Every structure is written in C-alpha cells, then in structure tokens.
Homo-oligomer: A and B are copies of this chain.
Amino acid sequence: MTRRVVVIGGDAVGMAAASQALRRAGRDSVEVVAFERSHHVSYSACGIPYWVGGDVDGPDALVARTAAAHRDNGIDLRLRTEVTGVDLGARTVTACDVDGGASTTVGFDDLVVATGAVPVRPDLPGAHSPGVHGVQTLDDGAGVLDGLARRPRRAVVVGGGYIGVEMAEAMVRRGLQVTLVDRAPEPMTTLDPDMGALVHEAMEGMGITVLSATAVSGFETGDDGRVAAVTTAQGTLPADIVVLGLGVRPNTELAGAAGLPLGESGGVLTDLRMRAADGVWAGGDCVEVLHRVSQRRVHIPLGTHANKHGRVIGMNLGGSYATFPGVVGTAVSKVCDLEIARTGLLEAEAAAAGFEPVSVTVESTTRAGYYPGTTPITVKMISATPRRSHRSGTRSW
C-alpha cells in the first residue's frame, strides 16, 4: 500500500525531504503531496542580497531545482497553495489556493512541517507602509527590485544582522545612499562587538552610514502613502525605500495550532530524528535545534541546516534511521571584500552557557607576507572551561 507524505512548505527542507523519501522508498511505496504558498520552490533565500545587488541573475539562478523537475520526480507539487489547518487527530491538512480558488483537504500518513520563518516586523507606526520591505522569500526579493525600479535615492536598512548588512551593501552597489540603523552597539551581533566593529568599519569604508545603538521609533509616509522617512531617537532619516533586517522568527502558527510542541526559543521542538510527533516531522527555519557547545536549544535559521534537516527527514521517511545531532554555530558572510565567519560560541554566549571564556585576538595575513594578494585577517579565538558552581552564588575571594 502506498503511504502518503504531505509536505507543508516547498523550500529546502520540504523538497529535500520529499526527494529523499521518494528516492529511498520508491514511488510505489510513497506518494508525496507538497504545498507551497509562493511561486518558487527549493530556492536560496540567502542569495537575495546578491540578486538585489546585481551579482547574481534572479530569481531563476537562486532556484536549485525547479517545480517542473520536482514534478518529474513524482512529487505532486501545488504552488500558490497555502495550508490553513492541520488536524493531527484526523491526519488531514486543509489548504487553499492563494489566488482565490477553492480549499481542499488532503489526508496524510506522514506530515513534514517546513513552514520556515517570517521576518520580524516592528510594532511601530508605518511599519507596514508600501516601500518598507522584509526579505525572506524570492517574492520579497522581487518586491525590493520593484522598489528599486522606482529609482529611490536614499535607502534605510533597519537592523544589522546578516540580511541587513548584505542588503545595505547590495543597495550601495545599486548606487543608493544607504544608512543602516541598528539598536546594537555594533552591527552583526552574531559576532562579538570587537569583531562587529570591523564590519562597521568595512561598511563605512564602502560609503554606508552606520548608526549603531540607535532605536527606530516609526516610519513616516509621504502624500502617496509610501514610506518617506524613518524616525529614530537621534532624528529623522529621509528614506525612499526601507529594508527590514530585524531577523526572523520561526513560523509556527500552524504547528502551534495543531498542538505540536514548541521549545523555549519558539521553534517547533523535535527529537534528534527531526520528529515533532508520531508521523510528524519538522525542520529548517521553523524548528529549534540543539547547540552542541552550549547544550542549549536555539533557533538559528540557515539554509545549510535546512538542507540537512530535509535530508534527515527524507531518510527517516524512506525507512532509514537518520539523526541531526545539532549545530555548532557556524556561519559565513561577507561585506564588500571583508569575509566574515564564526563558529562555536561568542564570549557572551559562552558566559551565558556557564563557561568562563578567555579570548585572544590575532592580527595576521591571509597568505605568507611575501605572496601576491595577501590581505589582513583578524582571528579571535575563544576558549572556555566550565564555570565552577558556587552554591551561594557569590565568589569567595
């Protein structure tokens, strides 16, 4: 008898899981129905800034495998179709056509929850005005490019995480005057502040105005209703286009409503096989995972994890026993020519996890000093030993 797998979300996790399951179990044993509410599947959201900046042709170049290819592989893929409810008792999902069609209910034997994340929108006046863009899906990327087609002159990026920093660079490359506003003391809080300061410096070096330690209080609109300025405690920043890079939160509305367990970080809680409940699997930006250094459960939305989750889920669906043992906090990015990488824990993260961190920062070169193309590199290493426990909570010296 054929087992039916229903997949909610057609990006990395969902399509990798579907493909693996079919490859391992065969079409005679497994039938896959996949729902995706956007126009695209299997895309690299992390490439959007490079598409906006003009380094990459988009959106097709960012699609690792097309809808047609997935359908050829035997996946019943339904684009522009949003799942609106999951009934774990009845083992059904209900989905509706985003463009106004009918709703449909499909039964499942196994369910893959791959609903991803949603960009954080600040609860501030004007945050939903036209011209204020989140960046999460390829449709969002197309939205920013539509915005750029209006020939804006001044861009403000709110938030200095990966997407914020990368989008600021992309818009400078498009010739805009760019200001990045960030609450934190330095951009890229996935680095220690002393390393973030190097990112700050590199951004200013390419002409981006970086306003750190600055809170945004609202968004003003012009006569046409579009965003015209970003207001901050330090003053008002005129803006023809605004990009939000305030991070994302796990998209767990469906999962939560269905009664799936959520963890302390807000992501769906799974076991090491990425199973959230009997016959229900979840992975990617909507779950939380174990950080293998801190031993805490964390939400780190990255495509590299999502691909692995999808493969693990697909292997399990296909009859194997596969696990995702956790993450170690590795991520890479770049600003202009400055390449940025991290792994493990920040000093503050290490302290929060109960370690006593010590660090050393080394200034060196990427190649032997005599070799052409040598550039400076700064390496910060953090070493940590478990903190001795103190019953009184105070130290004895």
Interface residues of A (CB under 8 A from B): 44, 46-47, 50, 55-56, 61-62, 64, 368-372
Contacts and interface: CB of A to CB of B under 8 A. Distances in A.
A47 B374 CA distance: 13
A369 B56 CA distance: 11
B369 A55 contact: no
Contacts of A64: 369
Copies in the complex: 2
A55 B368 CA distance: 13
Contact of A47 (B44, B50, B370): B370
A204 B1 CA distance: 54
A74 B368 CA distance: 27
Contacts of A62: 370
A50 B369 contact: no
A50 B64 CA distance: 39
Report, nearest first, the 7 A-B pairs whose CB atoms are least far apart: A61-B370, A47-B370, A56-B370, A62-B370, A55-B372, A44-B370, A44-B368
A92 to B, nearest CB: 37
A370 B42 CA distance: 13
Contacts of A371: 47, 50, 55-56
A368 to B, nearest CB: 6
A64 B369 CA distance: 8
A368 B47 CA distance: 8
A167 to B, nearest CB: 16
Contacts of A369: 44, 64
Contacts of A370: 44, 47, 50, 56, 61-62
15 contacts: A44-B368, A44-B370, A46-B368, A47-B368, A47-B370, A47-B371, A50-B371, A55-B371, A55-B372, A56-B370, A56-B371, A56-B372, A61-B370, A62-B370, A64-B369
A56 to B, nearest CB: 5
A371 B47 CA distance: 8
A363 to B, nearest CB: 15
Given A47-B368, A47-B370, 11 more contacts: A44-B368, A46-B368, A50-B370, A50-B371, A55-B371, A56-B370, A56-B371, A56-B372, A61-B370, A62-B370, A64-B369
